[in-house]
Amino acid sequence: MTDEAILDAVAAQARWMEALLADLVRAPTVLGAEDAGQAVMARAFADCGLEPVDVPLRADALRGAEGASPFSWDVVGKRNVVATWPADAEAEGARSLILNGHVDVVPPAAEHLWTRPPYGAVREGDWLYGRGAGDMKAGLAAMAGAVRALRGLGLPLGAPVQLQSVVEEECTGHGALQCLLDGHRADACVITEPHPDHLTVAQVGVLWFHVDVDGVPAHAARADRLGFNAIEAAGAVLEALRGLEAELNADPPPPYDAFAHPINLNPGIVAGGDWTSTVAASCTLSCRLACFPGESPDALAERVEATVARAAAEDPRLAGGRARVRYDGFRCEGCAVAEDEPLVRALGDAYERRHGERPALVATTATTDARHFVRAGIPAVCFGPRAERIHGVDERVSLSSMVETAQVLALFVRDWSGAIRPGSEGPARGKEEKDHHVVHGREPAGRG
C-alpha cells in the first residue's frame, strides 16, 4: 500500500471531513452541552465502519483518581465516545494507537464582536469559521477521515487503533482520564489539537483558582466613609498575584527558557456586587495560572495561597479571612516526551513524507490531555490542523490543512499499526520492549 495510494484515498475524503466538521461546529458543545457533538461523532465513527461505544464519566471514580481536578458540577449523563479498529492479526513491529480529540469548546466570548455566527460553520475560501472549528473539531474530523480512508483501502492492521472523542478537555481533562480509568490504553497516543507544522512534545501544568473577597455593604451615598468595596479589594489581590507571576517567569527551565513569558496569569472572570447603589459586599476573582513540567500544581497552589495571605496582611480591610482561595477546575501537572521517542520519530517520518521536511518539535504554554496519557506511561504528542483565533473572536481553521493532517495521520497509522510492508523493519522500538495493549479496555488473552 503505497504512500501515493494513501494520500489519494485521504484526499478523496475531503468533502466528508468538511461536512463532519460543519455538523460539529453547528453543535454548541460548551460545558454541560457536549452531547450534541458526541452524537455527531458516534455517527461519524459508525460511518467509518466501526462500532461506537460510550464511556460515561463517573464522578466517584474521577474524584479519587490520580491526576483528577476538583469539580463542582454534575457529570451525570456525560460521555466519551470511542471506537476501536481491531487488528486483523498480530504483525511484527506493529503497535497499538489512540487517536484522541475533544468535542467540548469554550464559550464564544463577546458574540457581538463576531463577524460571522459563532456556530454558523461559515466557509470562505480555505477557511471554515466557528467556535471550536480549530480547537479542536477539525482535528476530530481529520483523525476520522484518515481511518475512513485506510479502511476503504483495506489496510490490514497488526495492532488495534482506537478513535476517542472526549469531553471536558477545556476544564479538567476528565474525559480522557475516564477512558484511561476504564482501561482504554495503547502504546502511543496522538492528540489532534491545532498544532500544525510541528509536533508538540512538552506542555505546562495549569491551576484554576478562585479568590472570594468579602466586603462591607453600605449605601453608595456614603461610600466615602462607610462600607468596604470587595471589587476594589480584589484589585489589590490581583496586583499581588501579578507579583507571583513575575517570580514564576524569572528563571524558566529548558525548553521554556526560549519563551519571553512562558507562565501566564489570566484573571478570566470577575464577579461581584449585587446592586449599583450598594457598596459591593462580595467579589470573586477566577484565575488561571501555569507551572512548568516537573513542578507540582499542589506547590503552585500553596504559593497562590501565600500570595493572597500576604495581600490580606498588607490591607487591613482584608483582615479576618476576608480573602479566601478555593479550587474548582484544572489542577494538573505539565508533561514532556523525549524527542527520540519512537512515536515522535515515526510521526515525524510520516510528516516528512507528506511535506518534504521534518516537523519542528516544540513546547507549548498551554495544556492538553496529553498529560494523562504520559502519566499512564503512554507517550503522547499533539499534531493537527492550522487554526487561528482559538478562544477568540472569529475562530477559523484551514480546510486544506485538515486534509493534510489526515494524510500524515494515515501514513503514520499504516507505519505504526499496520502490517509490515516488504523490505520494512517496522517502527523503531525502544530499548525496553513491551507488548502493545489492546485498546478495548482489557489486556490481550495470555498477556501479563
Instruction: Tell me the sheet residues that pair with 282.
Output: 214
Backbone angles phi, psi at 121, to 5 degrees: 50, 50
Catalytic residue (one of 34, 169, 341, 369): 169
d(CA 172, CA 247): 26
Closest CA to 78 of 144, 141, 139, 30: 30
Residue 152 grid cell: 476503504
Residues 348 and 398 sit within 8 Å (Cβ to Cβ): no
Residue linked to cell 460521555: 79
Written as nine digits, the cell of 57 is: 464519566
Return d(Cα 442, Cα 183) in angstroms, integer: 6
d(CA 259, CA 305): 26
For residues 134 and 127, give the distance between their C-alpha atoms in angstroms, rounded to a whole number: 10
Q: What is the three-class DSSP state of 323?
A: strand
Measured CA to CA, the distance from residue 96 to residue 150 in angstroms comes to 16
Q: Mark whether 169 is an active-site residue.
A: yes
Helix (H) or strand (E) holding 122: strand 122-124
Query: In the numeric block, which cell numbers belong to residue 269?
Result: 472572570
Q: Which candidate in 104, 212, 395, 404 is catalytic?
A: 104
For 180, phi then psi, to 5°, come to: -65, -40
Burial of 158 (0-12, 13-18, 19+ CB in 10 A): buried
Query: Which positions ≥6 away from 131 have C-beta within 8 Å?
Result: 25, 28, 105, 106, 107, 108, 118, 119, 395
Active site residues: 104, 169
